Structure 1
Amino acid sequence: MSSNSQSTEEVITLQERTETDLSNQALTEEDYAALDKHDNVSSVSIASEKVKIKQHIGHIGLPSGAYLEVLPKDSLEGFKLLYYLAKAGRVSEELVTSRGEIGFSVGESFIEVVGQVYAQEIKRLLRRGIHKRYLPKQRATDHVKGQLQVTKQLARQEPFATSFESQYDELTADIPLNQLILFAAVKLAEEVPEPTVEDRLRRQIRDLQRIVSLPLTPPHPSEVTLTRETQGYKPLVKFAEQILDENYIDTFGQQTKVIESLLINTETLFEEVVYSLVADVVHGSRYIPEGDGDPESEADSDIGHLLRDESGDGIQGMQPDIFLRDRGTPVWIADAKWKESDSPARNDLYQVTSYQRKVGGDSVIFYPEQGGSLETVYGLSDDEHDTQEDSELRIVEVPLGGETYQEFEREAREKVREALQAQLPEL
């Protein structure tokens, strides 16, 4: 391990949730120290030069200039990240259903794909029409426009005015929402190493800058609110916020660059995809989907508490990834686990059966596709002496990809529908 900083753009690949030996890489002490402080690095052994990344895939920049490219585990063969992002609503489905579909699979550069996706999203936005808003303006005009600012006009003390201090509303695209998209695009272009992708981003940046100014700092989140008219911005805003949140931390009120990284939490993404699939299946039925996996974070996520203290207050809140309400009452529970295993983890079974006993209905644990080796059905008995099965727990594997996005969505939805109809026959 080198003790001095080095100037390099070496790309080091490793897999999520897997301890990786980096002793043959020329990383510096500063690199390991930065990784040790990183929220998404689960363990760093400076002595043995080993690193383990949490359930995230993406790109981590290091002080030396090297990059860690964090890939999905090899066991997740056929995983299509963009399909999952589209199903969770993080990118537009148009990007994965059009002829110019962007591909991404294990082994490809994450940061380059993000650059392609972001450039395509901006292009789509400009093609459909960028959002504009009326904003108040005050400036000197050659004729009275809007309202005349009498105080300012008199203060100029001109005997024969050749211009007028006007206040009026102007329709403009130079608003915080568009400035956020532009600011993130510029920062992303600085990180993309592939010239073709960088050029594509730069072209979209130039098109944006014709009508939007680049702010010195990104707009505050309170300035950026999506409305019904701006729902088409949702994928871009999500990407922009992640790009900027990962790249910067707030230090005494100033944006200070610490470590360049862009990571996607695969566990959260899997939960959002499963939630979306369940919502598709029950759409139009009497069941209302709720749960912690809601991509919009708008659904109720609480089914109550596991325990109560002596004063009767609930403790150990229970928040499954997905549950269904029927006339306001939770009747079905599911959790999504981004794991590979020969059999369902004991902790997963304990967790979901505790939810199940709270609700009194059937349940499902969803895992990523593993060749069907995990899929089974358990009966839940009242106690160890009672063998009568009064409700069931199903283990279901969700497809990781497909030849096309439509194929992936169709097969994934069918797997979910089959499990739900087995437990809720009226669907």
Structure 2
Amino acid sequence: MSSTAGDTRTIELGEHDRSAPLRLSEPVLETIESRINESATRLGYEYTQDGRVRLSSSSYVGLVALPNGTQVRIRPKAAGGNSLRLLLYAHGATSKTIDATVEALQGDVFLDAIGSLFVTRLQALLNHGLGKKYRTTEARESHLRGRLDLQRQLARGGVGDSEFAVEYETLTHDTVANQAVLYATHVVARLVTDRSLQNALRQREHQLRRDVTLRPVHGAELEQIHLDRRHDHYEDILRLAKIIIQASFVDNLQGGTQETYGLLVNMNRVFESVVERAATEGVTDAAWSVEAQSHITGLVTGGPPTVNMYPDFVIRDDDGQVRLVGDAKWKTGSPSQSDIYQMTSYQLVDDVPGLLLYPSQDGAMTTDYRVDDRLSLYLRELPTAHDVTDSESLGDVLSSAVTAVVESLTIN
């Protein structure tokens, strides 16, 4: 357990950790239930015999600010200094973008690293200039402008009306892409701990708000943003904005002292995406192909509801037949029975070997099993905590590691 309590207002936890006993009011606990854990159990709690509460972390890392002013910071394990590198690699960043995070990663605060990289990308965007798009505006004007909307004109008073119902196009900076950048700037500025970094983010937020509306931007809106060649300089900043927006929650957009806000990243999801990408990039043998998030059918039928099975990747031969099924588990300690049962189900569908990949932990997870005394199930680790040098990238290290693992297995 790594936590501090007493009079301090900050609680430090690792993943799957517990705090010292705390005195938290029922309204605070209700906020944890209804807001922080609204879509998933990000922060758990349990009562002690004397009526106090222990907070417990899961695989979500980052920061939570409770309405009583207490901040809970959860640090990732099994990543060494590579937390942000893994996050960017999982979200499709290029090696050049990932390598540019080295300076930001010198800090030991995960969210400060995200904020440092974000402010660098944001300044590059501002130096380049905010993009504009045409927006259709409907208005009533004293002079004819753009296109006269006859239907609205007649409905509001006819041709003799002194104002014209018009529709026209205007160029504006107030686009969804810029609103997403502004919202992410606003959120991350409230989460970083470094004062100079916070000031830099707030200055740029103020600059953006001159032309862009501050509002909550949802993940679904980000998926609808399509960049053309004139706006490809948005790619890096929007990738970071997406990470921040999807992992954050803010109750009061305008600020205030008694509010709940935070940013919590699910390292399980990050590691799954890391493994999918590393497998796709690493297994380059012409006789093999990697299929991420393959849909397995046929083992459990009937219903409803339909039972869907999606291993993180499968390897197929040149005839399209499955030769290996693989899955990722961001866990430390020892493999759980549920991990084994899940992988066994995947294997039995296609009668193939299975591979469970875990993060770095000094070989503690490396072992082999037999399923039905005929199918091999391999447990291996990836070097997520590798000390990356100037001459290499974490992506290359991970993809090479996946290649080495697959080549070492017996795949019939």
Corresponding residue for residue 282 of structure 1: 283
Shift of 1:258: 5.9
CA distance in 1, matches of 2:384, 2:9: 30
Give the unaligned 5+ runs of structure 1. 1-7, 159-163, 250-256, 293-300, 384-388
Of 413, 417, 420, the residue aligned with 2:403 is 417
CA distance in 2, matches of 1:53, 1:45: 15
CA distance in 1, matches of 2:96, 2:202: 22
Q: Does 1:70 align with 2:74?
A: yes
Conservation of the 8 A alpha-carbon contact between 1:176 and 1:219: no
Corresponding residue for residue 54 of structure 1: 58
Corresponding residue for residue 189 of structure 1: 189
Shift of 1:63: 1.4
Conservation of the 8 A alpha-carbon contact between 2:66 and 2:259: no
CA distance in 2, matches of 1:53, 1:43: 9
Corresponding residue for residue 246 of structure 2: 242
Cα deviation 1:314-344 (Å, max 9, x = unaligned): 9643221222344554332111111122x54
Distance 1:130 1:36, change over 3 A: same
CA distance in 2, matches of 1:423, 1:56: 32
Tell me the SS of whatever aligns to 2:105. coil
**TM-score under structure 1 normalisation?**
0.75
Letter in 2 for 1:392: S
Matches within 5 A, 1:15-414: 15-23=14-22, 27-35=24-32, 37=34, 38-39=36-37, 40-45=42-47, 47-73=51-77, 76=78, 78-89=80-91, 93-98=95-100, 101-103=103-105, 108-127=108-127, 130-137=130-137, 146-147=146-147, 151=153, 157=162, 167-210=167-210, 212-218=211-217, 221-222=220-221, 225-229=224-228, 232=235, 234-242=238-246, 244=248, 246-248=249-251, 259-282=260-283, 285=286, 287-292=288-293, 301-309=294-302, 316-326=307-317, 327-341=319-333, 343-378=334-369, 380=370, 382-383=372-373, 389=374, 391-401=375-385, 402-404=387-389, 406-414=392-400
Conservation of the 8 A alpha-carbon contact between 2:173 and 2:212: no
**TM-score under structure 2 normalisation?**
0.77
Letter in 1 for 2:76: P
Distance 1:33 1:219, change over 3 A: closer
Distance 1:275 1:99, change over 3 A: closer
Conservation of the 8 A alpha-carbon contact between 1:306 and 1:316: no
Tell me the SS of whatever aligns to 2:80. coil
Cα deviation 1:299-322 (Å, max 9, x = unaligned): xx421143345x8x8964322122
Cα deviation 1:29-84 (Å, max 9, x = unaligned): 543443455421234225242121111111011111110011124xx372411110
Of residues 191-200 and 323-332 in structure 1, the stretch that sits farther from structure 2 once superposed is 323-332
Corresponding residue for residue 252 of structure 1: none
CA distance in 2, matches of 1:286, 1:45: 56
Distance 1:30 1:355, change over 3 A: same
CA distance in 2, matches of 1:99, 1:183: 22
Shift of 1:179: 1.3
Cα deviation 1:169-208 (Å, max 9, x = unaligned): 3333221221122123224324444321111212322443
Distance 1:316 1:166, change over 3 A: closer
Shift of 1:17: 0.6
Shift of 1:345: 3.3
Of residues 140-149 and 41-50 in structure 1, the stretch that sits farther from structure 2 once superposed is 140-149
CA distance in 2, matches of 1:241, 1:234: 10
Cα deviation 1:88-110 (Å, max 9, x = unaligned): 017675453138631067xx333
Shift of 1:371: 1.6
Tell me the SS of whatever aligns to 1:21. coil
Distance 1:129 1:418, change over 3 A: farther
CA distance in 2, matches of 1:9, 1:90: 39
Distance 1:219 1:174, change over 3 A: farther
Distance 1:219 1:376, change over 3 A: closer
Distance 1:155 1:123, change over 3 A: farther
Conservation of the 8 A alpha-carbon contact between 1:138 and 1:167: yes
Distance 1:329 1:247, change over 3 A: farther
% identical aligned pairs:
24
Distance 1:395 1:217, change over 3 A: closer
Q: How many residues align?
A: 382
Shift of 1:263: 0.4
Tell me the SS of whatever aligns to 1:394. strand
Distance 1:135 1:223, change over 3 A: farther
Distance 1:196 1:381, change over 3 A: closer
CA distance in 2, matches of 1:185, 1:133: 21
Of residues 235-244 and 82-91 in structure 1, the stretch that sits farther from structure 2 once superposed is 235-244
Letter in 1 for 2:134: Y
Cα deviation 1:269-323 (Å, max 9, x = unaligned): 111111110011235846553344xxxxxxxx421143345x8x89643221222
Letter in 2 for 1:22: P
